[in-house]
Amino acid sequence: MNSPTGFAQRAAVALSDKSLRANFRRAMDGLMEKRKAQFPDRQALEALRDKGAAIRANALSKLPDLLERLEANCTANGIQVHWAATVAEGNAIISEILGKHHARLVIKGKSMVSEEMHLNHHLQQQAIDAIESDLGEYIIQLAGETPSHIVMPCIHKNLDQIARLFADNIPDQAYTEDVDALTAAARRVLRERFAAADAGLSGVNFAVAETGTLVLIENEGNGRLSTTLPSLHIAVTGIEKVVESLSDIPPLLALLPRSATGQPITTYVNMISSPRRPGEKDGPTEVHLVLLDNGRSKVYADPHLRDTLRCIRCGACMNHCPVYGRVGGHAYDAVYPGPIGKILMPQLDGLEAKGDLAHASTLCGACAEVCPVKIPIPDILVHLREESVNPTGAVAHSHFSGTLERTIWSMWTMVNTSPKLYRLFLWGATRFGNLMPGRLFKRWTLVRTRPQFARASLHEQAASEGFGDG
C-alpha cells in the first residue's frame, strides 16, 4: 500500500506547509514546557518512571493469566467480555451487539483502538452513525480527517481552520474565533446526540485484573457521558492494557496526564466496575468489553519487541520528537504516529507495509528519555531496521530494493572484507576524493558543507609519525 519512499515523500510535502509547521511547533513547544513544569524533581521523576515501567513489565510478564483473571472478575461484576483476534472479528462483535439492540446512533468517547479498527467506517456501511464526542475528534470527523496525535487529535488545525469548519457544518453557526463560543456550539450539538444515542462506545486506559475495573481518564466529560447516559456501553481495548492490581493505578495516573498534557491529573478518572445494579437510576444496563489482539500477541512473542506493549499512550514521545514536531502526524500515514508509531506500526501492519517508519528517526533518544514507562524506543527501532535487512547484507524488504543502494552495499562489503582492496580504496579516496564532481552530492550539500578528504589516511599519517603496524 505504501510506496517505497512513502514517508520521505509525505514528509517533504509536510515540511513545505508553513501553517502546518507553525501549528505543530506551537503545540509541541507548549506541551514540552508543561510536562517539564510537572516534574521539577528529577530524582522523584526517575523513581516514578522506574515504578511505572515495573508495573507494566510485570503485567506483561503475566499477560495471559491476567487476561483470564480480568475476564473472570469482569464477568462476575456483570461486564460481558469478548475476544477478537483481528480487526474484522472485533468489528463483527461490535456489529452483533449493536444489532441485538437495534442501535442506529452510537456516541463515541475517544478511542485509538477504534481508530485502529476503522470502526466508524465499518459501522457506517451498516447504516449505523458513529459520532465522535471528544471535541478534537469531533472536529476532525467534521473535516473528514484522521487524528494527527494520539492525545490531541486535531493539533494540526489552527483556530481559523476550526472556526471555518464549524461555520460550514453546524446549522446557524456564524464564523467566530471565540474559543468559548466554538466550545459552546459543540456542546449544544453533541448534547442532543448524547441524549439520542442508542449506545456509547469508549476505549480503556487501564483494565484492572484484580477487581474487573475499567479505568478511563479524560478532561471533557464526554467519556463519562458516553459510558453513562446510553443504556448500552461497549468498551474496546488492546489486550496489553491490563494491569494486575488496583494499587498499580495511582503511579500510572501520576505518570500519564503529567507526561501527556502537563496536568497533575485529568479532570475525570472514571472507574467502571459493573453495569447498572438493581435500585440504581442510571448507568448502562449492559456493559461489554472487547479485547483486541490485532498483532499484539505476535509482538509479545519477540523478547526484543515485547517492551513496545508497555505503552500507556501518553504521546510524550511525539511531543518531544524532532521528526514528529516538524513533519506532523499525518506524514506517518499510520494510526499511531511518532516514535511509538514507528515501532508499533511496522509490528502490527508488517515491515513490508510500514517498515519505512522504522527509518523515520534520527535515533536522538529524546523519546526514551521522556517515556513514562521507559520503553527503549531507539533500541527497538534499531532492531526493526536490522530485521528488515537480513544478516548476509542482502536486501530483505522492498523499501531497500533500489539497485543503486544494493550495489553500493555490496561494494562496501567487498572493500571492507579485503585488506588489499581496502588500502587501494583509501589511497584512491585520499588522492582523488576531493575531485569528485559536486553535483553527485547536491542534495546533501544543499544544506551542509561538503566534507574534505584528508590528503593521507590515518594509517599513512601514523606511519609517517613513526607508529608502526605492530
Positions 141 through 160 that interact with another protein (CB under 8 A)? 152-154, 158-159
* Residue (280 or 386) nearer to another protein, CB: 280
Q: Using CB under 8 A, which of 91, 114, 133, 388 touches another protein?
A: 133
**Smallest gap from residue 362 Cβ to another protein (A):** 26
Nearest to 347 by CA among 300, 413, 416, 404: 300
Half-sphere exposure of 254 (CA within 13 A, CB side): 17
Hey, is 292 helix, strand or coil?
strand
**Which one, 141 or 430, has the nearer CB to another protein?**
141
Q: How far is the CB of 234 from another protein (least distance, A)?
A: 14
Question: What's the CA gap between 309 and 241, in Å, rounded?
Answer: 8
Exposure string of 42-53, with b = 16+ CB inside 10 Å and e = fewer, is eeebeebbebbb
Q: How many residues of this chain bind another protein (CB under 8 A)?
A: 98
Local structure of residue 466 (DSSP, 8 states): T
Question: Site residues for another protein, window 29-58 (CB under 8 A)?
Answer: 30-31, 47-48, 50-51, 54-55, 57-58
For residue 130, what are the CA distances in angstroms to 67, 77, 106, 384? 28, 27, 5, 36
Which of these ranges, 81-89, 365-373, 433-441, 456-464, lies near another protein under the rule CB under 8 A? 81-89
Q: Which of 69, 82, 241, 399 binds another protein (CB under 8 A)?
A: 82
Whose Cβ is closer to another protein: residue 11's or residue 27's?
Answer: 27
Q: Which is nearer to another protein, 50 or 405 (CB)?
A: 50
Does position 75 interact with another protein (CB under 8 A)? The reply is no
Distance separating alpha carbons of residues 132 and 109, to the nearest angstrom: 6
Per CB under 8 A, the segment of 75-83, 315-323, 343-351, 433-441 that binds another protein is 75-83
Task: Pick out residues in 323-382 that bind another protein (CB under 8 A).
Answer: none
Residue 269: Cβ-neighbour burial (10 angstroms; 0-12, 13-18, 19+): middle
Single out the residue of 19, 64, 436, 463 in contact with another protein (rule: CB under 8 A): 64
Q: Is 231 in the site for another protein (CB under 8 A)?
A: yes
Interactions with another protein, residue window 187-226 (CB under 8 A): 187, 190-191, 194-195, 210-213, 219-222, 224-225
CB 380 within 8 A of CB 308: yes
Q: Of 61-69, 409-417, 431-439, 455-463, which part binds another protein (CB under 8 A)?
A: 61-69
- Find the shortest distance in angstroms from Cβ 457 to another protein: 45
Residues in 257-296 at the binding interface with another protein, rule: CB under 8 A: 261, 264-277, 279-283, 291, 293
CA distances from 57 to 7, 16, 266 (A): 31, 41, 24
180 binds another protein per the rule CB under 8 A = yes
User: Distance between CA 108 and CA 123 in Å, rounded?
Assistant: 12
Rounded to a whole number of angstroms, the minimum distance from the CB of residue 155 to another protein is: 8
| Calpha distance 244→10 (Å, rounded) | 41
Question: What is the rounded distance in angstroms from the CA atom of residue 254 to the CA atom of residue 44?
Answer: 11
State which of positions 421-460 bind another protein (CB under 8 A).
none
According to DSSP, the β-strands at 232-238 and 129-132 are: unpaired
Q: Which stretch binds another protein (CB under 8 A): 12-20, 111-119, 130-138, 448-456?
A: 130-138
Specify burial of residue 113 (Cβ count, 10 A radius: 0-12, 13-18, 19+): buried
CA distance 66 to 241: 10
- Of 239-247, 354-362, 407-415, 423-431, which segment contacts another protein by CB under 8 A? 239-247
Least separation, in Å, of the C-beta of 150 and another protein?
A: 13
Q: Rule CB under 8 A: choose which of 100, 298, 450, 455 binds another protein.
A: 298
| Footprint (CB under 8 A) of another protein, residues 11-30 | 26-27, 30
Between the alpha carbon of residue 398 and those of residues 4, 341, 353, 383, the distances in Å are 7, 20, 9, 18
- CA-CA distance, 88 to 93, in Å (whole number)? 9
Residue list 390-419, contact with another protein (CB under 8 A)? none
Asked if residues 290 and 82 have their Cβ atoms less than 8 Å apart, the reply is yes
User: Closest separation between CB of residue 199 and another protein, Å?
Assistant: 14
Q: Which of 61, 75, 362, 434 binds another protein (CB under 8 A)?
A: 61
End-to-end CA distance of the chain: 55
**Near another protein by CB under 8 A: residue from 117, 135, 351, 366:** 135
